Amino acid sequence: MILLGQFILACVNVVTGLYHASLIKKMEEDTLAGKPYKKIKHGWWGFAYAGLAALFCYLISQRNGQEFNLWLFLSFFANRRIFFDLSVNVYRFGWKGIWYVSPELKNVTGLWDAFAKGKTIDWVHFKIFGKRLWASSLIYAAGIVIITILL
């Protein structure tokens, strides 16, 4: 069941990543054309994914006769980070841009500034890993595998 949950959420993450990439492209086009654009509500999207991940976690935990499993919940967020980010990057920049990190993150002055700009998670990862998105993806993938094996 855990593998099925990971697979379904990976598919959800790829689809939402592709949707967000198309929104970003539209924002860029509107900016170049001088038109006003709608900002992506990252907090609401994150909240929606957290709810979906919590639901999957609850259902899988109940099926296995457990309480809510926090480790499984965290592995679902690692899944999000890998599949969502990579699908956004590949759709926007092709395979050569798979490890793209926004240069805007250099201009974020701190945690509150990152929160205000809707870049909190990206900023934290940038502070830890720099432009090495591949390193964080590798660590998250290893975490998913280990948690899945142990559960």
For residue 115, pLDDT beyond 90? no
Residue extents of the structural domains in the chain: 2-150
Please give the C-alpha separations between residue 47 and each of 33, 51, 92, 143, in angstroms, as whole numbers: 32, 6, 24, 22
In the chain, the amino acid numbered 79 is N
What is the average pLDDT score of the chain?
91
Q: Report, as an integer, the average pLDDT of 113-130.
A: 89
Confidence of residue 137 (pLDDT cuts 50, 70, 90): very high
Q: Report, as an integer, the average pLDDT of 94-101.
A: 90
**Higher per-residue pLDDT: 40 or 79:** 79
